[in-house]
Amino acid sequence: MARKPDVRVRRIYEEPSPQDGTRVLVDRIWPRGLTKGKADLGEWCKEVAPSTPLRKWYGHDPGRFEEFSRRYRVELEQPQQAEALQHLRELAKDRTLTLLTATKHPEISEAVVLADVLRT
């Protein structure tokens, strides 16, 4: 039986941890006030981020999270997003993968949706 990938979600503004494994920013927009050196990223995978219209519609409104999650999963089936998602699957195959987001509420972010998709 194959093991489930170890995929974690953290805010990019938190101090990096040795337990993070490969750190990947999954936001479309670079976080304010953060230098690339301070971010300590493996990579920035903005191709997997929600589209700008979806991101703006959602606005991190907790009441819209369920519908956002549904719409975002549909977007992840589009060719460019599906390719980026497959890349994240490859990264998560044999190592810990930490998905990073700048949002103040990562528990209702695209990173949580992505982590769920990657674990299944």
* Residue spans per domain, the chain: 7-119
- pLDDT attached to residue 4: 85
Q: How far is Cα 48 from Cα 32, in angstroms, rounded to an integer?
A: 19
Q: How far is Cα 113 from Cα 107, in angstroms, rounded to an integer?
A: 9
- pLDDT attached to residue 107: 96
Q: Which residues of the chain have pLDDT under 50?
A: none
pLDDT in tens, 17-34: 999 999 999 999 999 999
- pLDDT attached to residue 71: 98
- pLDDT attached to residue 3: 74
- pLDDT attached to residue 38: 86
- pLDDT attached to residue 37: 84
- pLDDT attached to residue 2: 62
